[in-house]
Homo-oligomer: A and B are copies of this chain.
Amino acid sequence: MIEQDQIEAQERSDPLARKRHEFDLPANTVYLDGNSLGCLPIAARERAREVVETQWGRDLIKSWNKHNWIDLPVQIGEKIARLIGAAPGQTICCDSTSVNLFKLLSVALKMQSERCIILSVQDNFPSDLYMLEGLRHQLGSDAVQIKLCAEEEIESAMHEKVAVLMLTQVNFRTGRLLDMQRLTERAHALGILVIWDLAHSAGVLPIELDGCHVDFAVGCGYKYLNGGPGAPAFAYVAKRHHQHLHQPLSGWMGHAAPFEFDAQYAPAKNITQLLVGTPPVISMSVLDAALEVYRDVDIKQLRDKAYGLSELFRTLVEQSPYLRDLQLLSPPQPQQRGAQLAYRHPEAYAICQALIDHGVVADFRAPDLLRLGFSPLPLRYIDISTSVTVLTEIMRNERWREPQYATRSKVT
């Protein structure tokens, strides 16, 4: 039985507790949705004013040089590289995760001239699977075959006709963490190239892209990286593949000499080739500033705290007689999951709405999942006990039955 004084002790000994003060957080809220949209770092707020009011407003076009707008994609890429175990020169910030997946899927498939199967899991992000379908629509089903398997069957589904394995490291529903090292190794043994989506792992778990010899990766700027709503995404291409890199969205920023304005496209022979058109500089600057929060953070401490927070939540739920109907869908061992928990309940939607209304922001995934993200920088251990207290009160008094919690809003 965990008692409140143990939680307060855990709070006092948290080596990351100081980082909370680098965020501008809403009052009276426990925010457990940092895996959908991270909180606002103070540095990001200040940079937004700076980039709009001074850089754009005063210096206008000169800012491309004076404020180094032109270097943002690479500069942000390198900040993220440190969080995902990538040596310099392999990571870049651009476009959305979906657009980046399209580029890398196209490249990987072209490198595998004799193979046309792309393997992924049924329970991957639907958005990632949609991009596979788009590529198949464009290239035809002779050139692209899609095979989807269950998460437990990935290894057995690999064979020597598979061109590309596309996986998400942490399942967006269950939070289950896949074994990047093992799966990448198995794939390579069969000549399969691997693309990892790090949307729910970058910035919260130690990742070793270089160490695992990963081929390609993509990820998202607005979840644990706290880059702001719809922040630009990132992409990684292992250096050994740069020589084969020729992605189809061949924009001016990916040209070998973008400021020559040659009539002919010549692909840059490095990671900048993934750039397409002029990037959204305001959103990108905000992400750049947000990443400063990570400058002095040990990623292992991040993971330990994410586990600490989610284990505290899980244990408190387990302890409460009023929360027995919540069925844990996530792996019970923290080492087998990312920084989130998902519970099944037939009334998950209404429960989620009631929680939000009582100051605990969680999220709902159809049809019946209550999902809770434990972003380790802004959250405190005492926030977790608060959130379980609120949840208990909602379930004990069946507050979720109140009619205002039944109506679904446009975005869920």
- Using a CB–CB distance below 8 Å, which chain A residues touch chain B? 24, 26, 31, 33, 36-37, 39-40, 44-45, 48-49, 51-53, 55-65, 69-70, 95-99, 102, 106, 122, 126-127, 129-131, 133-135, 137-139, 148, 222, 228-233, 246-252, 255, 259-265, 276-284, 286, 356, 361, 363, 365-366, 409-412
Contact = CB atoms under 8 A, between A and B. Distances in A.
A252 B411 contact: no
A135 B251 CA distance: 11
B36 A45 contact: no
Contact of A265 (B36, B134, B230, B259): B134
A61 B37 contact: yes
A321 B76 CA distance: 50
Q: Taking each of A222, A246, A280, which has the highest tally of chain B beta carbons within 10 Å of its own beta carbon?
A: A280
A246 to B, nearest CB: 6
Nearest to A277: B96
Number of copies: 2
Nearest to A40: B57
Contacts of A62: 356, 361
Given A26-B60, A230-B281, A133 B96 contact: no
A130 B252 contact: yes
B411 A230 contact: no
B52 A250 contact: no
B278 A222 contact: yes
A406 to B, nearest CB: 16
A292 to B, nearest CB: 16
Given A65-B409, A126-B263, A248 B137 contact: yes
> 6 tightest A-B contacts by CB?
A96-B277, A134-B250, A229-B281, A280-B283, A98-B277, A138-B248
A41 to B, nearest CB: 10
A134 B277 contact: no
A251 B409 CA distance: 21
Q: Taking each of A37, A231, A249, A365, which has the highest tally of chain B beta carbons within 10 Å of its own beta carbon?
A: A249
Contacts of A48: 48-49, 52-53, 282
